Amino acid sequence: MLTRILMLGLSLGLIAAAQAVELTDEQRAAIEARISPVGEVCLQGESCGGTPAVMGAVAVIDGEGTYNMACLACHASGVAGAPIVGDVGSWAPRIAKGIDALYNSGVNGVAGTAMMAKGGRADLSDEAVIAAVDFMIENSQ
């Protein structure tokens, strides 16, 4: 009896394996889409939406990419009093404090407000945050 059960199990396994091999390209693509990764890993030195990428011997920082990845959630809608990018009136008093004050706010956060250091993205370099601040200023004057 045990032998019959084992043989039945083995037979079913072979049938299933044979069917899996006979997938169409469309079926394989559908499976790949369902099990594709939901995120990415960005290693130091790679270009991943605002992190530095090395091109030749020069590091390139994408301020708009960093803004889109780390700043947009608050600075596009004004969440918790964040100045909205493009709103000249809300940025003018901040810009008047000087560029170093704005960089400091981006990198270190602003005590007593919802502005966290690096927008809550501790994985960002100071340079990437500074590039995002430059992007926001350029689009808010």
pLDDT in tens, 95-118: 999 999 999 999 999 999 999 999
- Please indicate whether residue 73 or residue 47 has the higher confidence score (pLDDT): 73
Q: Is residue 28 domain-shared with residue 59, that is, in the same domain?
A: no
Q: Within its chain, how far is the Cα of 22 from the centroid?
A: 37
**Domain extent at residue 96:** 53-138
Is residue 43 included in any domain, yes or no?
A: no
Q: Tell me the C-alpha distance between 98 and 27, whole Å.
A: 58
pLDDT in tens, 7-29: 666 666 656 555 556 778 888 87
Is residue 99 included in any domain, yes or no?
A: yes
Cross-strand pairs, 60: 53
Q: Is residue 124 domain-shared with residue 92, that is, in the same domain?
A: yes
Q: Is residue 57 domain-shared with residue 122, that is, in the same domain?
A: yes
Is residue 113 included in any domain, yes or no?
A: yes
Which region among 4-18, 23-37, 121-135 has the lowest average model confidence (pLDDT)? 4-18
Q: Is residue 91 domain-shared with residue 122, that is, in the same domain?
A: yes
Q: Is residue 133 domain-shared with residue 82, that is, in the same domain?
A: yes
User: Contact 121/51 with Cβ under 8 angstroms?
Assistant: no
Tell me the whole-structure pTM to 2 decimals: 0.60
Is residue 48 included in any domain, yes or no?
A: no
Q: Tell me what pLDDT residue 27 has.
A: 83
Question: What's the domain count of the chain?
Answer: 2
Please report, for the chain, how many H helices and E strands are present, in that order.
Answer: 7, 2
Q: Tell me what pLDDT residue 29 has.
A: 78
CATH of the domain at 88: 1.10.760.10
Cross-strand pairs, 55: 58
